[in-house]
Structure 1
Amino acid sequence: MKIAIDGMGGDHAPSEVVQGVVEAVKIYDDIEVYITGPEDKIKEELNKNNYSGDKIKIINANEVIGTNEHPVMALRRKKDSSIVKALNLVKSGECDAIISAGSTGAFLAGCTLIVGRIKGVERPALAPIMPGRNGSFMVIDSGANVDCKPNYLVQFANMGSIYYESVFNKKSPTVGLVNIGAEEEKGNELTKETHKLLKEEKHLNFIGNVEPREIPSGETDVLVCDGFVGNTVLKLYEGAALNLLGIIKDSIMSASFMPKMGAMLLKPVFKKLKVKFDYKEVGGAPFLGVDGICIKAHGSSDGKAFKNAIKQTRIFYSSDVIGKIKKEISENN
């Protein structure tokens, strides 16, 4: 498969982007990668990584869209930007997928306007995978659509279920609706109407409402909500995890000798816990509903994160998630 990567997207571009790509092409012999960005800078980074093979191609792009720019206006003005060049590679069919750690707004707008939606999809949705106590879970939508209609959320549920089943190889994953109470009558008009519609989706393994306090358990595979709620859940979850680990570390450092010795013995446990909550292990969040594989990587992604984003993209491609979503949408329209 062929993957387009926004070589100038992210806090550590292009050095970490190139490092991750070089590591990935050494592991996976079935991929070609097109890196977009200033040719001289990309070549310089490839030389630093001692790469001289033919699996990485450079697409020259001399502009960069910043996180503080208006997404749609920037896409229109900066046709020679690294992200627009990468998106057009997917639009033309030259590449099968795009990965970017750049401006989230520009990426989501570009995926929708340039790559385009799957026919019948009303709103594409961002669907990150999060670590839970009993397993990984998906939050869909996590920020692409802050204002939603009930039928949007039903589509989110269907697309999320297809992705989770295909990528995690879990038959009939559980689907829950994020709400302020477990009872069916709880919530606002959006959640109450969505609950009714999801109950009618007999092919979905819909388990009803899921309260926010139950989210970290990982008992529910796919959590459905509008983008405002989803983005709040995502950021609170990330912040809580980081602060909890920080509190534990601070407590250990200020403790007496014996607790510190106990902490030393538990170091492998803490390390394993840290890895579990590390976004770099996943690589990125799929943007479902667009007619191409689109992966949004974290803005602070390093080489490891980009390598794992490529790994995730390969699974997405080999599982034919887009083909399955197209079939599901066409059958329901």
Structure 2
Amino acid sequence: MLKEDLNFVGNIEGNELFSDKADIVVTDGFCGNIALKTLEGTSQVIVHEMKQSLLNNGIIVKLGALLAKHGLQSLKSHFDVARYGGAVLIGLNAPVVKTHGRSDKRPVYYTLLQIDKMLDEHLIDEFKKYFLNNN
């Protein structure tokens, strides 16, 4: 998971959070929470508005939606926050991942997969080695 050398790209703007500019964004808890909640709310509004638009604009639009169903499901899946697990707290001796306060079993499942991957890849040890050698 960790590259030999981390590539720090510098600060990024809020409109770049979904871009490919950075794989990992590190924030304090307050700013990170605001960014996440804004992105969650925005994606929920977009999905809702698209659904309403497709359902309420006549038969031609509904047929078009039927033809685009696979692509629309893929897009919805991309914005499904439950699939991304939780926020990793760095600096501890064991993996600690904070999930959303309203998480049900599905996001908890993905968070457990995330923790399992962290354990399999010895991520905590890799972090320690990196930060001890690059201090």
Shorter chain as denominator, the TM-score bin is 0.7 to 0.9
What's the CA shift for 1:315? Answer: 0.7
- Find the residue that maps to 2:101 and give its secondary structure: coil
> Match for residue 93 of structure 2?
291
Q: Name the CA shift for 1:281/1:248 in 2 (closer, same or farther; >3 Å).
A: same
Structure 1 residues 219 and 304, CA gap change in structure 2 (3 angstroms): same
Partner Cα distance (2:115, 2:30) in 1: 26
Q: For structure 1, which runs of at least 5 residues remain unmatched after alignment? A: 1-164, 173-202
Match of 2:15 in 1: 213
The residue identity in structure 1 corresponding to 2:100 is H
CA RMSD between the two structures? 2.1
Contact preservation (8 Å) 2:40, 2:81? no
CA distance in 1, matches of 2:101, 2:18: 23
**Structure (1 or 2) with the greater strand fraction:** 1
Residue 217 of structure 1 deviates from its aligned partner by 1.7
More relative contact order in 1 or in 2 (CA 8 Å, sep 6+)? 1
**Aligned equivalents of 2:112 and 2:16: distance in 1?**
31
Shift of 1:243: 0.5
Instruction: Find the counterpart in structure 1 of residue 53 from structure 2.
Output: 251
Q: 1:300 aligns with which of 102, 107, 117?
A: 102
Q: Is the 8 A contact 2:82 2:106 kept in 1?
A: yes
* 1:241 counterpart residue number: 43
Residue 285 of structure 1 deviates from its aligned partner by 2.3
Shift in alpha-carbon separation, 1:283–1:230, aligned structure 2, 3 A? closer
Q: Return the alpha-carbon distance in structure 2 between the equivalents of residues 276 and 265 of structure 1.
A: 19
1:273 aligns with 2:71: no
Larger helix proportion, structure 1 or 2? 2
Aligned-pair CA distance for 1:332: 4.1
Q: Is the partner of 2:25 in helix, strand or coil? A: strand
* Aligned equivalents of 2:96, 2:129: Cα separation in 1: 19
Tell me which amino acid in the other structure corresponds to 1:238.
E
* Aligned residue-pair number: 135
